Chains A and B, each alone.
Chain A
Amino acid sequence: MLKDVTLGQFFPGKSLIHRLDPRTKLLILIGYIVALFLAVSWLSYGVVFVFLVSCIAISRIPVKSFFRGMKPLIFILVFTGILNIFFTQGETVLVQFWKITVTLEGLIRAFFMVFRIMLLITGTFLLTYTTSPIALTDGLESLLSPLKKIKLPVHELSMMMCIALRFIPTLIEETDKIMSAQKARGADFESGKLMQRVKALVPILVPLFISAFRRADELATAMECRCYHGGDGRTKMKLLRMRSFDYYSFLVSAAMIAGVCVLRHFGL
Chain B
Amino acid sequence: MAPFLEVKNLTHKYSAGTPFEHTALCDVSFTLERGEFIGVIGHTGSGKSTLMQHLNGLLKPTSGSIALDGTDIWQDKKTTRQTRFRVGLVFQYPEYQLFEETVYKDIAFGPKNMGLDAAEIDRRVKESAAAVGLSQELLTVSPFDLSGGQKRRVAIAGVLAMEPELLILDEPTAGLDPAGREEILSYIDSYRKAKQATIMMVSHSMGDVARMADRLIVMNKGRIALMGAPGEVFCHARELVDMGLDIPALTRLFLQLKELGLDVEPVYTQEQAVKALLALRGGNANA
Binds B, one of A119-127, A132-140, A182-190, A258-266: A182-190
- A203 interfacial contact with B, CB 8 Å: yes
Pairwise interchain contact A186-B99, C-beta atoms closer than 8 A: no
Pairwise interchain contact B97-A207, C-beta atoms closer than 8 A: yes
User: Please, which residues of chain A bring their CB within 8 A of the CB of B286?
Assistant: none
The CA of A184 and the CA of B52, in the complex, are separated in Å by 11
Partner of B113, one of A180, A188, A210: A188
Pairwise interchain contact A207-B99, C-beta atoms closer than 8 A: yes
The CA of A217 and the CA of B144, in the complex, are separated in Å by 16
Partner of A185, one of B18, B53, B113, B144: B113
User: Please, which residues of chain B bring their CB within 8 A of the CB of A210?
Assistant: 96, 144
The CA of A3 and the CA of B22, in the complex, are separated in Å by 13
- Given A4-B15, A188-B113, A210-B144, A183-B96 contact (CB < 8 Å): no
The CA of A218 and the CA of B88, in the complex, are separated in Å by 31
The CA of A145 and the CA of B193, in the complex, are separated in Å by 67
- Given A185-B159, A186-B114, A203-B56 contact (CB < 8 Å): no
The CA of A185 and the CA of B109, in the complex, are separated in Å by 7
- Given A4-B15, A177-B91, A184-B96 contact (CB < 8 Å): no
The smallest beta-carbon distance between A231 and chain B, in angstroms, is 34
Pairwise interchain contact A186-B15, C-beta atoms closer than 8 A: no
Partner of A178, one of B56, B88, B96, B159: B96
The smallest beta-carbon distance between B145 and chain A, in angstroms, is 13
User: Please, which residues of chain A bring their CB within 8 A of the CB of B210?
Assistant: none
- A202 interfacial contact with B, CB 8 Å: yes
User: Please, which residues of chain A bring their CB within 8 A of the CB of B84?
Assistant: 183-186
Map CB proximity to A onto B87-99 as digits: 1 under 8 Å, 0 otherwise.
0110100101111
The smallest beta-carbon distance between A197 and chain B, in angstroms, is 14
The smallest beta-carbon distance between B10 and chain A, in angstroms, is 18
Pairwise interchain contact B99-A185, C-beta atoms closer than 8 A: no
The smallest beta-carbon distance between B142 and chain A, in angstroms, is 11
The smallest beta-carbon distance between A227 and chain B, in angstroms, is 28
- Given A181-B91, A210-B144, A186-B97 contact (CB < 8 Å): no
Which residues 162-202 of A sit at the B interface, judged by CB distance below 8 A? 177-178, 180-188, 202
State the majority secondary structure of interface residues on A. helix
Which residues 71-92 of B sit at the A interface, judged by CB distance below 8 A? 81, 84-85, 88-89, 91
Residue ID in chain B nearest A182 by CB atoms: B97
- A211 interfacial contact with B, CB 8 Å: yes
The CA of A206 and the CA of B109, in the complex, are separated in Å by 14
Pairwise interchain contact B162-A186, C-beta atoms closer than 8 A: yes
User: Please, which residues of chain B bring their CB within 8 A of the CB of A3?
Assistant: 15
Q: Interface residues of A toward B: which range?
A: 10 to 19
B interface residues, how many (CB within 8 angstroms): 24
The CA of A170 and the CA of B18, in the complex, are separated in Å by 22
The smallest beta-carbon distance between B232 and chain A, in angstroms, is 31
- Given A187-B113, A188-B113, A203-B109, A181-B85 contact (CB < 8 Å): no
State the majority secondary structure of interface residues on B. helix
Q: Which of B91, B97, B144 has the most CB of A within 10 A?
A: B97
The CA of A87 and the CA of B271, in the complex, are separated in Å by 90
User: Please, which residues of chain B bring their CB within 8 A of the CB of A4?
Assistant: 15, 18
User: Please, which residues of chain A bring their CB within 8 A of the CB of B99?
Assistant: 202-203, 206-207
The CA of A187 and the CA of B158, in the complex, are separated in Å by 13
Which residues 35-61 of B sit at the A interface, judged by CB distance below 8 A? 53, 56, 58
The CA of A153 and the CA of B94, in the complex, are separated in Å by 39
The smallest beta-carbon distance between B97 and chain A, in angstroms, is 4
Partner of A181, one of B15, B94, B113: B94
The CA of A187 and the CA of B58, in the complex, are separated in Å by 12
The CA of A206 and the CA of B89, in the complex, are separated in Å by 20
Pairwise interchain contact B96-A180, C-beta atoms closer than 8 A: no
User: Please, which residues of chain A bring their CB within 8 A of the CB of B56?
Assistant: 184
Pairwise interchain contact A184-B159, C-beta atoms closer than 8 A: yes
Pairwise interchain contact A186-B91, C-beta atoms closer than 8 A: no
The CA of A187 and the CA of B99, in the complex, are separated in Å by 13
Which residues 58-73 of B sit at the A interface, judged by CB distance below 8 A? 58
User: Please, which residues of chain A bring their CB within 8 A of the CB of B89?
Assistant: 181, 184
Residue ID in chain B nearest A209 by CB atoms: B99
Partner of B162, one of A178, A181, A185, A211: A185
The smallest beta-carbon distance between A208 and chain B, in angstroms, is 9
- B110 interfacial contact with A, CB 8 Å: yes
The CA of A210 and the CA of B53, in the complex, are separated in Å by 24
The CA of A56 and the CA of B119, in the complex, are separated in Å by 67
The CA of A202 and the CA of B15, in the complex, are separated in Å by 28
The CA of A181 and the CA of B162, in the complex, are separated in Å by 14
Pairwise interchain contact B114-A184, C-beta atoms closer than 8 A: no
The smallest beta-carbon distance between A4 and chain B, in angstroms, is 7
User: Please, which residues of chain B bring their CB within 8 A of the CB of A184?
Assistant: 56, 58, 84, 88-89, 91, 159
Closest 5 CB pairs of A and B: A186-B113, A206-B99, A181-B97, A184-B89, A185-B110
A178-B96, A207-B98 known, 14 other contacts, Cβ within 8 Å: A3-B15, A4-B15, A180-B91, A181-B96, A182-B97, A182-B109, A184-B89, A184-B91, A184-B159, A185-B109, A185-B113, A186-B85, A186-B109, A202-B99
